[in-house]
Structure 1
Amino acid sequence: MADPRTIARQAVDALGGRANITDVENCITRLRVTVGSLDRVDESGLRAIDGVLGVVMDDTVQIVLGPGLVNEVADAMAAQAGADGIRPGSPERTDAAGLHARGEQIRGARKRRNQTPVKAFLRRIANIFLPLIPALIACGIIAGLNGVLTNFVTRGWAPWAAPVTPVLAAVASGFMTLIAVFVGMNAAKEFGGTPILGGAVAAIIPFAGVAKVTIAGEKLAPGQGGVIGALLAAILAAYLERWARRWAPRSLSMLVVPTFVVLVAGVLTIFPLMTLSGWLAQGIGDLANGLLQHGGALAGLVLAGLFLPLVMLGLHQALIPIHTTLIEQAGYTVLLPILAMAGAGQVGAAIALYVRLKHNAGIRSTIRSALPAGFLGVGEPLIYGVTLPLGRPFITACVGGAFGGMFVGLLNQLGTTVGSTAIGPSGWALFPLTNGSRGIGAAIAVYAGGLLVGYVVGFLATYFFGLSKAELRRLNDEGMDAESERTSAERV
């Protein structure tokens, strides 16, 4: 098992040394490292580190490690990046070097195309919500457990749980009640303001007292606008703060700037922003639900089929505000289980390649190491290490995911809504978070059915159409040649 400290030490060296690292953060699966110069980063060296599942070069260097390990490596790297005595490691290169090299070329071209203002803005929005994912997952699982116990109590199967369910409900709901505050703090920080001021302005949204405010004859509702309103309010506060600091006298800035920011941004939040963001949030909910109710199968096909390219670009995190809004409204997001089908298609495609390339030990070794993460919803190792460099298997993987999404979308259209009570995990890791209109049991069954469809279609599409006869022969011949060379070297 890979040692977090060893991974951190080798990663610091491959990232250009401690002097090149300016910030280290992590989400549920990825380590996100801000570096001074991307030119000093040894991407191949990062990929070769034992325990690293994939690398995405963007405005930050994203190192895919998987759940659990990423937290330990983040802590170790944060310590080692500022420590003396870090020496270059000597990680062993992985197999299937040709595929890795091709994947690196694709990532390099994608990185150059990806530096646009719109995509940079979306990444900033994603950075606001990433730190919230662990709490969202924890509260989602607790909410699911509480739902099961509540159902047992209602049916008389577990009377002992009656006093337990209110406690679990409070634990699960407390964070979601005040999520606007945390969004506000993170948004203010991301846009150059003071986090506590962003939180103070965003706290107006869940405040019960806004129910006494009347606009155009209608009273505001606490929580109106949700995380979208909090996001807009905090961004406004950050810009107002930066502007105020330019003109406020230095001797009075401690008093003038915070008061000005909270007062002006707070009033603007109460009047236009809560109303406008409330309309926007309601529109998102109506659109998502209407899309699946009236065109569920087609919608699922398109959404799941296009999600892998979004993951490839590293922009899938920009969907977090939409998922969070749906969770606020209904208790779960109906989009995440459908999008998770993209990973199922990827797994099916990888298994088909494993079967077809029986003489290519390098590619088969890469697939074996990446499949466990793929089953748990971490798709980058299979994308960048296997399917994308080969070309056509990436498309057949998307086809598998599309059919899995179509299955889940069709069941939504027929009345069995399937959603996730939190965001972050997918694959098998999403099972504890599933819920829907007909209860947890039905939701789990539909989600499992979608995964199975994605696996099977991804496998069949890749097995029969993923590789041309010439390419299949070439890859197997290369594998046999490599094995022959290795055997000869061992004899010598």
Structure 2
Amino acid sequence: MDYTKTAKSIVELVGGEENVQHMIHCMTRLRFNLHDIKKVDRKKMEKVPGVMGTNISGGQFQIIIGNDVPKVYTAILENSSIKADSKSKKSGNSKNVIASIFDVISGVFTPILPAIAGAGMIKGLLAIALTLGWLTNESQVYTILNAIGDGAFYFLPILLAVSAARKFGSSIYVAAAIGAALLHPTLTALLSSGEKVAFLGLPVTAVTYSSTVIPILLAIWIASYVEKWVDRIIPSMFKLIVVPTLTILIVVPVTLIAVGPLGNYLGNLLSFGVGALFEHGWIFAGLILGGTWSLIIMTGMHYAFLPIAMNNLATKGYDLILPSMFMANMGQAGATFAVSLRSKNKSFKSLAMTTSLTAVMGITEPAMYGVNMRLKKPFIGALIGGAVGGAYYSALGVKYYILGGNAGLPGIASFIGEGFVLAVLGFPIAFAAGAIATYLMGFEDVESDEEETTDGDQSKADGSSPDVIVAAEKLFSPLKGEVKPLSEVKDSTFSSGIMGKGFAIQPTEGKVVSPVTGRVTTIFKTKHAIGITSDNGAEILIHIGLDTVKLNGKHFTAHVKDGDFVDVGDTLVTFDLEAIKAEGYDLTTPIIITNPDRYQSIQPVKEGHVETRDAFMALLV
């Protein structure tokens, strides 16, 4: 990939530099806040090399790149005046309250995910070492490694404070100081002593702030307003010292007295609600959550679950929400795997297989946006896979113990504990369910650049044959009737060979079946003609009767649609033979190979009467 070229194309298609308010990136996506999202050309954007898909969520325009997103991000910064921290006070987009909340949660959590993921993985590896007896929890090595892995979680309020301050536009160092004050060992000891605590006569509720989420988010949100208010009323010569001093002196006590207890209460309430759902909803809780998790990700609402999950881990030692995310991801991986099996487009087939593997590893955006949503039906198959896996997990009470930061195979250590084996079995169950559902439903395949773009003629736009690889094969008769040379057809378009080479059949039964295993590339609205591409590259046109297009579909019934995969003998179209004859139409049916230049010869295998599924034409290379 030419990162510079891709970067320039992206900037142009989002409406230019002047349309960009702010740009960040996560593990797989570029995230743009734009002045006017209507200026984006999504259709052209999705054709840019390296772009796997696009999405709009929470007022953000998101471009799915995959593992190369940091390089594209850097190329944009280097080749434009866009800055990662640039924001505009003007915006053409108005957001509702819910979208704004999700945007805030997303903006706060995305930057700290690498730290949480790294620390979580260390905790997971440490848990494995303990389970296998490689370490004991009394050793100094364990103590040091545990501190390394647990540090990001214990001091999570400080990380969140810094990230939230960036999002709210306030001082990150003042925010860090507020978080540090709440975690100070002396204050922690006082609040956990069991004694009544008061500040200036106002009661302070005993709350443990380590590993909490909601209290610090509320505190820094308030701090952003306090800081701006103090900054407006303090003379410039005193701002440097007075503004941070007053902000910290106001916000920390307010948090201890009111905000902290409120945030802690909200966190416990949410945790209780989710716990009750899984306790009383049994199998349906996981089925619903696993089946809708991918939709939740699309809206950005998944970030709203992180505070709840973190609170569950901090208070209960386990969480029941995040296992559903694993199952949803495995469903996406399975669906994409099925696409790789069924797609006849070689480049797309390769893309599907690659994104399936990355989805198994927990990076699902390329699979979800680049493959499954693009084809529609595979996305439904992925949701089914997630629902089946989620139902399995909730039925057996599978728990998530460690926030590992990855909802794929590398994050499996997060389940180490009671029910670990059951958790592992859920991965292939969700994967298989998504794959089977997608394979059975089928989908409209992606056409390659070389494939046909006009009805009926399966050649390139310039009239040349497509650059496809073909192999010798036999065609089986699509009709019951009498085989005739194409030259005997009473239509010069066919008899002269302009459309291609082949043979004709005079039908004795009103049923057309597939002569090959392949894909339906075209079925005319009038249902009188069908185009099929075989697995071996043969492009076949079956034209039922002569001038029957004038019937406008009358007396014809289609049993397939564009993009359907078919096997030899599958019914394509049925028609009322006698009724069409009664209206004066010749039912001689040409079976044409529209890419004949790819074959050395096209020969008859059987002459005279044929039954459906009889071999009747040979294509030699």
Shorter-chain TM-score range: 0.7 to 0.9
Structure 1 segment 139-288 matched on structure 2, within 5 A: 139-153=119-133, 162-210=139-187, 211-212=189-190, 214-215=196-197, 220-223=206-209, 226-288=212-274
Tell me the distance in 2 between the aligned counterparts of 1:398 and 1:392. Answer: 10
Measured after TM superposition, the shift of residue 7 of structure 1 is 3.9
Instruction: Verify: 1:407 aligned to 2:392, yes or no.
Output: yes
Aligned residue in 2 for 1:102: none
How far off its partner does 1:161 sit? 10
Counterparts of 1:490 and 1:267 in 2: how far apart (Å)?
Answer: 83
Determine which structure has more spread, i.e. the larger CA radius of gyration: 2
- Cα 1:392–1:133, aligned 2, differ >3 Å: closer, same or farther? same
Which is worse superposed, 194-203 or 234-243?
194-203
In structure 2, the residue matched to 1:76 is 75
2:436 is aligned to 460
Residue 376 of structure 1 corresponds to which residue in structure 2? 361
Task: State the partner residue of 1:451.
Answer: 427
Equivalent pair of 1:184/1:231 in contact (CA under 8 Å): yes
What CA distance in whole angstroms lies between the structure 2 residues aligned with 1:368 and 1:159? 41
Partner SS, residue 284 of structure 2:
helix
Q: Matched residue pairs, number?
A: 447
- For CA contacts below 8 A with separation 6 or more, give which structure has more relative contact order: 1
Contact 1:228–1:321 at 8 Å: present in 2 too? yes
Identity %: 26
1:324 maps onto 2:310 in alignment: yes
1:110-134 alpha-carbon deviations (Å, 9 max, x no partner): xx99953311221112101111100
Which one has a larger percent helix, Structure 1 or Structure 2? 1
Check whether the contact 2:400–2:414 (CA below 8 A) recurs between aligned residues: yes
Deviation digits for residues 408-465 of structure 1, max 9, x if unmatched? 11221xxx52344233x2232322x423442xxx52x333321212122223333344
TM-score where L is the length of structure 1: 0.78
Matches of 2:173 and 2:204 in 1, distance apart?
30
Distance 1:232 1:383 in 2: 33
Contact 1:205–1:229 under 8 Å retained in 2: no
- Answer whether contact 1:54 1:385 (CA < 8 A) is retained: yes
Change (3 A) 1:362 1:168: closer
**Cross-structure match for 2:400:** 418
Q: Distance in 2 between matches of 1:267 and 1:419?
A: 33
Does structure 1 residue 337 correspond to structure 2 residue 318? Answer: no
> Quick one: distance in 2 between partners of 1:479 and 1:336?
45
What is the CA–CA distance in structure 2 between the aligned matches of 1:246 and 1:346, rounded to whole Å? 51
Is residue 131 of structure 1 aligned with residue 111 of structure 2? yes
**2:20 matches 1:38:** no
Structure 1 distance, partners of 2:317, 2:110, is 19
- The 3-state SS of whatever aligns with 1:66 is coil
* More deviation, 128-137/452-461: 452-461
The aligned runs of 1:22-101 (5 Å cut-off) are 22-58=21-57, 59-67=59-67, 69-82=68-81
Kindly provide the amino acid, as one letter, of the partner of residue 55 in structure 1. Answer: T
What SS class does the counterpart of residue 321 from structure 1 fall into? Answer: helix
CA contact (8 A) 2:361 2:410 kept: yes
Q: Which moved more, 1:333-342 or 1:50-59?
A: 50-59
Alignment partner, residue 397 of structure 1 = 382
Q: CA RMSD in A?
A: 3.8
How far the C-alpha of 1:306 sits from its partner, in A, is 1.2
Does the CA contact (< 8 Å) of 2:211 and 2:310 recur in 1? Answer: no
**Within 2, Cα distance between the matches of 1:309 and 1:461?**
18
Report if the CA contact (8 A) 2:333-2:357 is conserved: no
Change (3 A) 1:169 1:253: same
Distance 2:176 2:379 in 1: 42
Gaps of 5+ in 2: 83-91, 445-512, 524-529, 541-593, 599-621
Matched residue SS, 2:325: helix
Q: How has the CA–CA distance of structure 1 residues 72 and 419 changed in structure 2, closer, same or farther, with 3 Å as cutoff?
A: farther
Aligned 8 A contact 2:31 2:62 in 1: yes
**What CA deviation, in whole Å up to 9, does each residue of 1:171-208 have, x standing for no partner?**
11222222101211222232232222222223232222
Shift of 1:375: 2.5
- Name whichever structure is richer in strand by fraction: 2
Residue 300 of structure 1: how far off its partner (Å): 0.8
Tell me how far apart the structure 1 counterparts of residues 236 and 416 of structure 2 sit (CA, whole Å).
55
Distance 2:242 2:165 in 1: 18
Change (3 A) 1:191 1:219: closer
2:104 maps to amino acid: R
